[in-house]
Structure 1
Amino acid sequence: MSEVPASARYKEIIATATGAAERMREHEREKSARLAQEVAVAEQRIAAAAEARDEVVAGVELRWKHAMEALWDERWMRVTPMPHPDRRVAPGRAADLIASVQSAYLVLRRSLEKSRWSPSRRRGKPPE
């Protein structure tokens, strides 16, 4: 049995270690590129969510303002500032949330229109 010189064995070990280190660096570069892409996608999603949130907030504030204007003649009603968001509400698409607020606003408008007093109703005349 012939012995492998120490220098040859050393070169084999160094070559194996160098190859492993290079494969590890390549793996880390690929992983870094994947993670950078995931971060970019997440940042886009965060920006889209912030835009949707801002759209919902603006829609709610606008409808609150219109509701307060609609209630202006209802002196008996105590009008309060806009309440804070209800965190118990399930998350949803911005368009669905705005539609829900719009629907509630329209119900308010219809109920105010029905309850309006008019002189013709007082005398028993049918509304025109």
Structure 2
Amino acid sequence: MTDAVERYRELVEAATEAGAALREHDRATAERLGEAVAKGKQRQEESARQREEAIADADARWKAALGALWDERWLRSDGKPAPDRSAPPATPEESRKAMDEAYVDFHDSLAKPGLLRRRKA
């Protein structure tokens, strides 16, 4: 009978150790997952901020372009165009650079002779 009691104690001890190891594993896993969720939330907030900045920048560029064409009453706009969903994926920095380049090209084209009517001073 003492062998059975000793074996029972060994099994209980092994089960207790396994339970403690499992709780420690679960705690470590929960901690890692919590950190991953926090990092994901930070990335999501940063992405939302970058998106809002890009939209504000695009709106400002659009208003500036309309201002540059203010004297050209014949040139009508139906409003700001919708985003080009066929554009290749790009980072916010790449998108902003492309928008800057397009804006510079637009202003360069306005300086070309004969493109638009010019009011006489």
- TM superposition score category, shorter chain reference: 0.7 to 0.9
The one-character-per-residue Cα deviations of 1:3-31 (angstroms, maximum 9, x if unpaired) are: 75322222111111111111111011111
Residue type of the partner of 2:25? Answer: H
| Alignment TM-score, normalising by the size of structure 1 | 0.79
CA-CA distance at 1:86 after TM superposition: 2.0
Which residue of 2 is the match for residue 73 of structure 1? 71
For these two proteins, the number of residue pairs brought into alignment is 118
| Alignment TM-score, normalising by the size of structure 2 | 0.83
Q: 1:6 aligns with which of 4, 26, 50?
A: 4
| Residue aligned with 1:5, SS | helix
Q: Which runs of 5+ in 1 are unaligned?
A: 121-128
Q: 1:111 aligns with which of 106, 109, 112?
A: 109
CA–CA distance in structure 1, aligned partners of residues 88 and 117 of structure 2 = 39
Q: Which runs of 5+ in 2 are unaligned?
A: none
Q: Does 1:36 align with 2:58?
A: no
CA–CA distance in structure 2, aligned partners of residues 67 and 77 of structure 1 = 12
Distance verdict in 2 for CA 1:28–1:118, change over 3 Å: closer
Q: Percent identity?
A: 36
Higher Cα Rg, which structure: 1
User: How big is the alpha-carbon RMSD for the aligned residues of Structure 1 and Structure 2?
Assistant: 2.1
Which residue of 1 is the match for residue 54 of structure 2? 56
Q: Residues 62 and 80 of structure 2 are in contact (CA less than 8 Å); yes or no, is this contact kept in structure 1?
A: yes
The one-character-per-residue Cα deviations of 1:60-103 (angstroms, maximum 9, x if unpaired) are: 11000111111222222221211222233233232321221122
CA-CA distance at 1:37 after TM superposition: 1.0
Distance verdict in 2 for CA 1:118–1:18, change over 3 Å: closer
